Structure 1
Amino acid sequence: MKNIRQLHILPMLAMACLGLLFTACNSDKTKTAQTDSTATDSSGAGLSLPAGFSAAVIAKDLGSVRHISITPQGGIYVKHKSAGGNAGILYLTEANGTATVKTSFGTFDGTGIYVKKGYLYASSDEEVFRFKLNANNEVESPDKPEKIVTGLISRNEHEAKAILLDDAGNLYVNIGAYSNSCQVKDREKGSMGQPGCPILDSAGGIWQFKADKLNQTYKDGIRYATGLRNVVGMDWNKTSNQLFVMQHGRDQLHDIFPDMYTEKQSAILPAECMFAINKGDNAGWPYVYYDQEQKKKIVMPEYGGDGKKEGDSKYLEPAAAFPGHLAPNGLLFYTGSQFPEKYKNGAFIAFHGSWNRAPEPQAGYFVVFQPLKNGKADGPMEVFADGFSGSAENTAKGSATHRPCGLAQGPDGSLYVTDDVKGNIYKISYKK
């Protein structure tokens, strides 16, 4: 048991990031919409939000917290990206605008965490565990988790396992590709793609397992979808009863193929894609990427592409496409009633921010809202919460003070956002 820490609200940060977003997106030739009303600073959290919304930092200095899940009673579970000397999971309770750490447990690394039907599920880089919850939705035996899945591949690139559960007793696990683009020599200039990309045998997709069966391995699961380089943000869309994911697109087009791509093209391509997934779908990695400027799938240069050659129609079309390298780490379909009606069943996406747009400015470090209709983008994305980086200069340099990562919806319809730099938890609320 850790000592309970009293946490306080951050001072307001001076903000200029919103303008940089529009500069970056306009240079990408990607439409970005303003929200219905003028963005305003919220009280105390340093974020810029649409009018009527406010944010509070309900917890701080928690370490590199990544994904977050909230119980029906409002208890907060967060997962560390790296356990190190800290606990892998924290449980917090919230009262009077402050969240305090009640328990900490688990020493395994990883990102995934999810509360469902009386259990807390959490992943390491190679396994998925579950903990039984009591009537108050607190873990009963934190030192005795049940092992649900084991033996997943982890090769020090895209190794974190995002997880999700549906309402039919299925567990979905992202197994990221341990490669940028399945080259013979990873990230080496001019190296071509491996024939048949053997990585796809055990990675580069979403696997489905049973949520209540112990000690499952690859042979017990189903490769639910393939051709996904790496997925960190994922959620179940209850409107369409379907899995949605946010893929991290490939890197370094110019570095690897400088004769085909300029530095500017490499900064904005390929798109970060939202995919609506059905069993058996193939999103195309490493054979194609989506070009949001040409609005088409393009053959990867490692597999004979030239930046213009169109990819096979058999590969999945994105439900929505966003500027490259923004790193979508959180996805949430809003189902609450606190926010205005326009947000109902739309998608919030936490963009963790880029590292590889240089010499162009870095971009991201914000939460956006994507309107949807019939499972597809219904208009351009809207910047919802900006200001995590601290300043436009911080954003351009890629040295953000805070970086949004995980998203969760509280029982009252509030939106929670984690920060994996300083370890903040933000609570965003709406009042007419």
Structure 2
Amino acid sequence: MGSTKHAWLTFAVFALGASVCCNVRAEVRLGEIKLPPGFRIGLYTDKTPDARSLALGDDGTVYVGSMDEGRVYALRDGNGDGKADQVHVLATNLNMPNGVAFADGDLYIVEIPRILRFRDIGPRLSNPPEPEVVFDRYPEDVHHGWKYLRVGPDGKLYVPVGAPCNVCLSEKDIYATLTRLDKDGSNFEIYARGVRNTVGFDWHPETKELWMNDNGRDWLGDDRPPDELNHVPKPGLHFGFPYCHGKNIADPSFGKGKSCAEFEPPAWTYPAHVAPLGMRFYTGKQFPAEYRGRLFVAQHGSWNRSAPVGYRIVTVEFRGGKPVADEVFAEGWLRPNGEVLGRPVDLLEMPDGALLVSDDKAGAIYRIVYQP
């Protein structure tokens, strides 16, 4: 799965730390997005080219990573009207800074080979400090090298390292893993293995256990293997890559001599090639009660399937701490004629219960609210 250039954007060249003001246009046709009754979608901003992962500061600032743009943005809704009236560019010329996370007043950004930290960032958006290098020992491979970043309930940073290929077996243990380390870069460890490429994970609000999306391999056909939702309740688990895919699909090249029963099966499967990326358990009170505790998942969309799939947001219902059903929540970014209007990447619950959605194709952030 690769990044897609946004074809509908024209934008000015911004100085480092400068506030974005003008000359940005995105063709965002939100009238085509279908939602359940009572829900509304609006434009939070269209001034974030290549918008990817999202993080929320303690003052309500929304931080946005990117990939090919090499930029990190900070958004503020100063008048509370549900739209970002301040858009700052905090950094430029970074190496695919897809992942962003906020903790203890500091902003963490993960590039392909390293993690950066901007200390005390909230009051300094218009004049950001020089970043500190927290950790710089990740591989430099571009293939699946862009990384997600979250701070877990244990206060540690969680960072995946994707496989440097479609499917392969590397001699280096670091590939196809989820790693964990302290916020100062110490106590680095491999938390989970056999993870081809996760670009989204979250912790269940009640159990505090980790759940993780994983993008399945390509070139086994339109419908195999499924993309996965994996349950990671403890460190040390292996989720099968490159030997097994889905619940019981042995890899034709690497699965010989292996049994899929040796590995952790997915707790839930999505259709093949939908590319599940960002995910968040909803804990707010704005949406109807049946949505509380559901997992919202951004499906970025297929890139090589004969008939495109994904390009939507789905919810996964949990009962007793386990996924039991899923359904489409928002769709319309993929038109019936195959035209792609946008590609959802990440989700972020705001303090008022609204849900933000990033779109790297349109370079936009949307805001979904419940207004019956």
- Structure ranking higher in helix proportion: 1
Q: Does the 8 Å contact 2:49/2:69 carry over to 1? A: no
Per-residue deviation, 1:117: 2.5
Structure-2 separation of matches of 1:116 and 1:230: 24
Unaligned segments of structure 1, at least 5 residues: 14-43, 183-196, 254-265, 291-295
RMSD of aligned residue pairs (Cα, Å):
2.3
Name the counterpart of 1:92. 75
Q: Does 1:209 align with 2:185?
A: no
Per-residue deviation, 1:431: 2.3
Q: Please list the CA deviations of residues 179-207 of structure 1 after superposition, one character each: whole Å capped at 9, or x if unmatched.
A: 1111xxxxxxxxxxxxxx33551210101
Structure-2 separation of matches of 1:3 and 1:304: 52
Alignment of 1:371-382 (within 5 A): 371-379=317-325, 381-382=326-327
Structure-1 separation of matches of 2:271 and 2:159: 25
- Alignment CA distance shift 1:149-1:341 (3 Å): same
Structure-1 separation of matches of 2:25 and 2:254: 51
Per-residue deviation, 1:4: 3.4
Structure-2 separation of matches of 1:144 and 1:10: 31
Q: Please list the CA deviations of residues 226-282 of structure 1 after superposition, one character each: whole Å capped at 9, or x if unmatched.
A: 0000110111223221121100100002xxxxxxxxxxxx10111110111120010
Name the counterpart of 1:430. 370
Q: Does the 8 Å contact 1:7/1:99 carry over to 2? A: no
Q: Does the 8 Å contact 1:338/1:414 carry over to 2? A: yes
How many equivalent pairs are there? 351
- Alignment CA distance shift 1:4-1:279 (3 Å): same
Per-residue deviation, 1:378: 1.6
Per-residue deviation, 1:375: 3.4
Q: Does 1:392 align with 2:336?
A: yes
- Alignment CA distance shift 1:7-1:334 (3 Å): farther
Name the counterpart of 1:34. none
Residue of structure 1 aligned with 2:248, choices 276, 292, 297? 297
- Alignment CA distance shift 1:3-1:103 (3 Å): closer
Tell which structure's C-alpha radius of gyration is larger.
Answer: 1
Name the counterpart of 2:11. none
Q: Does 1:280 align with 2:267?
A: no
Q: Please list the CA deviations of residues 349-406 of structure 1 after superposition, one character each: whole Å capped at 9, or x if unmatched.
A: 0000001212xx1111000011012332122x111011123x2112xxxx51211001
Structure-1 separation of matches of 2:332 and 2:316: 18
Alignment of 1:46-65 (within 5 A): 46-65=32-51
Residue of structure 2 aligned with 1:112, choices 90, 99, 104? 99
Question: For residue 148 of structure 1, what is the amino acid of its counterpart?
Answer: V
Structure-1 separation of matches of 2:48 and 2:282: 26
Q: Does the 8 Å contact 2:28/2:362 carry over to 1? A: no
Structure-1 separation of matches of 2:360 and 2:135: 26
Name the counterpart of 1:2. 18
Q: Please list the CA deviations of residues 291-327 of structure 1 after superposition, one character each: whole Å capped at 9, or x if unmatched.
A: xxxxx3221111255xxx9933231121211100111
Name the counterpart of 2:5. none
Q: Does the 8 Å contact 1:92/1:102 carry over to 2? A: yes
Q: Does the 8 Å contact 2:20/2:47 carry over to 1? A: no
Q: Does 1:325 align with 2:273?
A: yes
Structure-2 separation of matches of 1:100 and 1:7: 15
* Other structure's SS at 1:400 match: coil
Structure-1 separation of matches of 2:72 and 2:175: 25
Q: Does the 8 Å contact 1:5/1:100 carry over to 2? A: no
Structure-1 separation of matches of 2:202 and 2:140: 23
Q: Does the 8 Å contact 1:49/1:385 carry over to 2? A: yes
Q: Does the 8 Å contact 2:242/2:255 carry over to 1? A: no
Q: Does the 8 Å contact 1:348/1:369 carry over to 2? A: yes
Residue of structure 1 aligned with 2:208, choices 241, 254, 272? 241
Per-residue deviation, 1:98: 2.4
Per-residue deviation, 1:157: 0.5
Per-residue deviation, 1:422: 1.6
Q: Does 1:170 align with 2:125?
A: no
- Alignment CA distance shift 1:137-1:373 (3 Å): farther
* Other structure's SS at 1:313 match: helix
Structure-2 separation of matches of 1:52 and 1:310: 49
Structure-1 separation of matches of 2:368 and 2:22: 20
Alignment of 1:341-420 (within 5 A): 341-358=289-306, 361-379=307-325, 381-389=326-334, 391-394=335-338, 399-420=339-360
Q: Does the 8 Å contact 1:337/1:344 carry over to 2? A: yes
Per-residue deviation, 1:139: 5.0
Alignment of 1:68-217 (within 5 A): 68-83=54-69, 88-94=71-77, 95=79, 96-107=81-92, 108=94, 109-133=96-120, 136=122, 139=125, 142-182=128-168, 197-199=169-171, 201-211=173-183, 213-214=184-185, 216=186
Question: For residue 424 of structure 1, what is the amino acid of its counterpart?
Answer: A
